[in-house]
Amino acid sequence: MKIGIIGAGRVGVASAFAIATSKVAEEILLIDLNKELAEGEAEDIAQGMDITKTLARVGDYPELADKGLIIVTAGLRRKPEESRLDLIKKNACLMEEIVGKIVAYNKHCLIFVVTNPVDVLTYSSLKLSGFPANKVFGLGTYLDTVRLRSFLIREGLNPEAMVIGEHGDSMVFLGDIPVQIAERTRKAGAEMIKKKGGAGWAVGLAVADVVKAIAKNEKKIFPLTSLINNWNGLSCVCISVPVEVGSSGIISYPEISLTEEEKERFLRSYDVIKETTLCL
């Protein structure tokens, strides 16, 4: 499989490295405004090609024409004087530019959004691309799910758990999760920003896990953000729910049972995303 990654910052490079080590990509093309940085990162990964069998290199948008999957990690960070909505609007404008360039050269790929706020930007990418809904999706709460399961394992608890809803404060925990672990999961992203400037490795591993399912047509279930249509009676926003993923993108939406409390929490999460989406 040939893959394009837009953005060679912390998340883009971590994703490229994790994908390369999973040995499912023939080629990874990195695109970034800072071409010298991207060249250095791509060459560093490419120097392990004897092990990974993956060629990592730098290019530009026309070279996306033969890529089956394009991952978007590029995005701006919030400045101290900016509101969250200011940042959302800036990244939405950036996404408009990026998706426009992707579609200009490739109308048959899958688009995998990682840039935050991922729910809103996945919706924006879907509308801008004009692609079928199953071909545009975002990492969403799979990252939160990976974090949650890792915290549970470290506490010697059953890791069979999942997070759905918004990739943000209103995320919804399914099952009986200890309060302290739920809070640690909810604050994990902020903790990474405080301690090291932002998350990277766990995000990259989560991205690579989804990419592997696509490349090998594993038909594996992940909580990813995508356009829902009458999911528990709700529609018209991109929000994370369990989806079956394979080579064509999203294959199906497996049914799951929610408690009344989980339904209420999911509705609150849905409303948060819908309100932000309408602001764009």
Active site residues: 167
DSSP string, the chain: -EEEEE--SHHHHHHHHHHHHHT--SEEEEE-S-HHHHHHHHHHHHTTHHHH--EEEE--GGGGTT-SEEEE---PPPPTT--HHHHHHHHHHHHHHHHHHHHHH-SSSEEEE-SSSHHHHHHHHHHHHT--GGGEEE-TTHHHHHHHHHHHHHTT-----EEEB-SSTT-EEES---HHHHHHHHTHHHHHHHHHSS--HHHHHHHHHHHHHHHTT--EEEEEEEE-SSBTTB-SSEEEEEEEEETTEEEE-------HHHHHHHHHHHHHHHHHHHT-
